[in-house]
Structure 1
């Protein structure tokens, strides 16, 4: 393997690792909201 290929592989690996860490940091700040459940819809009888 040539030197430039080794450097390219190292750069790609570091890019993937740093990208995943930044994505994880961003996802930790997000608040995931649960969808509202429609309880009234469940309580109706089938013929309504």
Structure 2
């Protein structure tokens, strides 16, 4: 994880993407222990069929 008040100008873009991917793949209690992508797919898929 990144410390508070990190200067994003000195952090590699790949590291920022890695942290974002990690955070977005944590199951959320408020989403029924699903990840954000699972909720998104559950919402979008019925509209595509």
TM-score range, shorter chain: 0.3 to 0.5
Query: Normalized against structure 1, the TM-score is what?
Result: 0.37
Q: Relative contact order: is structure 1 or structure 2 higher (C-alpha 8 Å, sep ≥ 6)?
A: 2
Query: Normalized against structure 2, the TM-score is what?
Result: 0.37
> Greater Rg, structure 1 or structure 2?
1
